[in-house]
Amino acid sequence: MRIFSLSMVCLLLLSGCDHTVHRLRNGAAEAETGTPAFVVKPTVSSISLQLQENGSLQKTALDGVNALLRNQGRLSNQEIKLQPYTDKGYEFALQLKKSLLSSGVQQEKLAILPIQYQAVKSATKSEEEKQKKWDLSLTSEAMIVVVKDCSIQQQTWSVKPFEAIGTLGCANRANLAQMVADPRDLMRGRALDKADGIYAVESVTRYHESDVTPLLDIDFDED
């Protein structure tokens, strides 16, 4: 009887440990400590650009534009506005629009605003040289996924291993969140598109019965 009681106690302890481990591995709400693995939020980023004499951008300015667009997620999910301040900036905005459209920005999400000329203030020549005259600005609005830093803290992992490693599954959930096509899908689900079930079933049936429709084969040598 005593052996049976000890066996039951061991089974209860093992089941409790197994439940705790799986709860931590699955990332339940009660197992999360600190910030979650990812957060979806709207962001607005803008950059002002000054063109060179030949109407092009300096490498540092071009790198800044590329960094801004990368941080805003997929180009197809971004709403971009180009605000020219000079005639030269407007001409460059037209070229930039073509480049953005070819890179994946949606036509309806890209707009060039009317030229907004900057007010000229009376100033000395030295003050005018210090003031930068922007030619255009680029503004991007998008829903982005901000992921948590799930890397192991090398300084404290040997002293506080659990806190240094963090919640199990953090890196996996963060990576999956970054791969989602539309960050809005992480906030709410979407209904499936309409489909013709009968047509799909008949196609699979013809495949299994080797009753497939041959492809059209045109022989131009017979003409």
Give CA 206 to chain center in angstroms: 40
Pairing label, strands 110-112, 136-147: unpaired
Q: Is 87 inside any structural domain?
A: yes
Q: Is 73 inside any structural domain?
A: yes
Q: Is 191 inside any structural domain?
A: no
| CA distances from residue 55 to 93, 95, 135, 166 in whole angstroms, order as listed | 11, 11, 10, 50
CB count within 10 Å of CB 49 equals: 22
Q: Residue 172 — pLDDT band, cuts 50, 70, 90?
A: confident
Q: Residue 189 — pLDDT band, cuts 50, 70, 90?
A: confident
**Mean pLDDT, residues 73-77 taken together:** 88
**Of the candidate ranges 133-137, 140-144, 215-219, the one whose mean pLDDT is the lowest:** 215-219
Q: Is 7 inside any structural domain?
A: no
Q: Which domain holds residue 104?
A: 41-145
Q: Which element (helix H / strand E) includes 105?
A: none
- What number of helices (H) and strands (E) belong to the chain? 7, 4
Q: Check which CATH number belongs to the domain holding 82 and give it.
A: 3.30.1330.60
Judge whether 112 and 97 are in contact, CB under 8 Å. Answer: yes
Q: Is 5 inside any structural domain?
A: no
**Which pTM was predicted?**
0.59
Report the domain count for the chain. 1
**What's residue 217's pLDDT?**
60
> pLDDT by residue (tens digit) across 114-128?
998 876 665 555 554
**Of the candidate ranges 73-77, 167-171, 196-200, the one whose mean pLDDT is the lowest:** 167-171
**Residue 140: pLDDT above 50?**
yes
Q: Which element (helix H / strand E) includes 137?
A: strand 136-147
| 5 DSSP 8-state letter | H
